[in-house]
Amino acid sequence: MFNTLDRLRWNHRVESRDRGAGESACRTPGPLELHARKITSQFGTIARSYGLTLWPKEEKWKYQHDFEVMLAHEDLDSIRLELLAQDNSVLFEFKIHFSCQTATCRRAEINSGVELPVIQRETVANHRIVLQHHRKIEAYRHLLKLNWGPVETFQKRPGDTFASDHASKITGGRQQANFHVASEVRQCLTVTQTGNGPYAFAEGMERGRKGVYLHLRFAPPGFRFRVGQQLTALLVQTTRGIQARAIRAN
């Protein structure tokens, strides 16, 4: 059984900072601290890309600290960032799962640019961070810097869910993550170029996007690309340009 907690931006509670004054700037962070940093880093990158502020600069360390404490107590099942519409339904969700919290995974970590689903900023009315845990929190609540509490579950809008390649690569497999994006964010595409491999390129019919990268692993089994084909997909900004996810025939 999991319990759901959150930190709502509009209910943010400011607490005094009590880090040790003699903490060395050259201190080498441990595995759990690095793990927690990558959570806040991914959430922060996504938020900045959509013009959102998750936490005041002076309080980011408190979230990072609390995530590290929860990981140390093996109490985290998942943490998610939700972007909400005016009716509090979930337009966008980025959810990190913890399958091997105690650093038992041995895969090498790889630097990889973040994936950012293309959505219209004006559709986002609010946002929140929500976590699920294994009900151990009362044993270590006194160690936490933030006042985590129960939260209402908001309905996700119908849409598509796909895995984040980035989260797994940068953590050596210790974090798995996925996006959920509402169906109304899908865009229409026309295939403009195909190759001998499993990839192709398309252009957006609505916003004139060109060179959208398509790959068959993001399409249904048995799918094939052909020039002139009409598709719908979720678009994702990557360091290599715009790519399509959750590809379907139109």
The pLDDT tens digits for 146-176 are 999 899 999 999 999 988 876 556 555 566 8
Residues 6+ apart with CB under 8 A from 197: none
Whether the CB-CB separation of 65 and 19 falls below 8 Å is answered with no
- Asked if pLDDT for residue 191 goes beyond 70, the answer is yes
User: Are 133 and 198 in a shared domain?
Assistant: no
User: Are 178 and 98 in a shared domain?
Assistant: yes
User: Are 192 and 157 in a shared domain?
Assistant: no
Last residue of some domain: 135, 165, 183?
183
Which of 159-166's residues contact partners 24+ apart within 8 Å by CB, and which partners?
A: 159/183, 159/185, 160/186, 160/234, 160/245, 160/246, 161/246, 162/218, 162/234, 162/245, 162/246, 164/94, 164/115, 165/112, 165/115, 166/42, 166/112, 166/113, 166/114, 166/115
Q: How confident is the model at residue 220 (pLDDT cuts 50, 70, 90)?
A: very high
The per-residue pLDDT for 116 is 86
Q: Tell me the residue length of the chain.
A: 250
Q: What pTM was estimated for this model as a whole?
A: 0.79
Considering the domain boundaries, does residue 21 fall inside one? no
User: Are 149 and 65 in a shared domain?
Assistant: yes
User: Are 49 and 129 in a shared domain?
Assistant: yes
User: Are 50 and 145 in a shared domain?
Assistant: yes
Considering the domain boundaries, does residue 179 fall inside one? yes
Considering the domain boundaries, does residue 204 fall inside one? yes
Would the CA dihedral through 207, 212, 216, 217 be positive or negative? Answer: negative
User: Are 174 and 203 in a shared domain?
Assistant: no
Last residue of some domain: 138, 159, 183?
183
Whether the CB-CB separation of 91 and 127 falls below 8 Å is answered with no
Q: Shortest CA distance to 117 belongs to which of 76, 177, 60, 174?
A: 177
Last residue of some domain: 183, 203, 238?
183
The pLDDT tens digits for 109-140 are 444 557 888 898 889 999 999 999 888 999 99
> Could you tell me the residue range of the domain that residue 193 belongs to?
187-249
- Asked if pLDDT for residue 28 goes beyond 90, the answer is no
User: Are 124 and 60 in a shared domain?
Assistant: yes
Whether the CB-CB separation of 81 and 46 falls below 8 Å is answered with yes
Considering the domain boundaries, does residue 20 fall inside one? no
User: Are 68 and 112 in a shared domain?
Assistant: yes
Distance (Å, rounded) from C-alpha 145 to C-alpha 17? Answer: 9
User: Are 68 and 33 in a shared domain?
Assistant: yes
User: Are 164 and 135 in a shared domain?
Assistant: yes
Considering the domain boundaries, does residue 155 fall inside one? yes
Where residue 49 sits, what CATH number does that domain have? 3.30.900.10
Considering the domain boundaries, does residue 18 fall inside one? no
Average pLDDT, the chain: 82
Where residue 242 sits, what CATH number does that domain have? 2.40.50.140
Distance (Å, rounded) from C-alpha 200 to C-alpha 195? Answer: 6
Q: How confident is the model at residue 15 (pLDDT cuts 50, 70, 90)?
A: very low
Q: Which pair of tokens denotes residue 61?
A: 């360390």
Distance (Å, rounded) from C-alpha 157 to C-alpha 160? Answer: 9
Considering the domain boundaries, does residue 129 fall inside one? yes
For the chain, give the percent of residues with pLDDT over 70.
78
Whether the CB-CB separation of 180 and 160 falls below 8 Å is answered with yes
User: Are 236 and 213 in a shared domain?
Assistant: yes
* Tally of structural domains, the chain: 2
Whether the CB-CB separation of 192 and 202 falls below 8 Å is answered with yes
Distance (Å, rounded) from C-alpha 146 to C-alpha 67? Answer: 10
Q: How confident is the model at residue 207 (pLDDT cuts 50, 70, 90)?
A: low
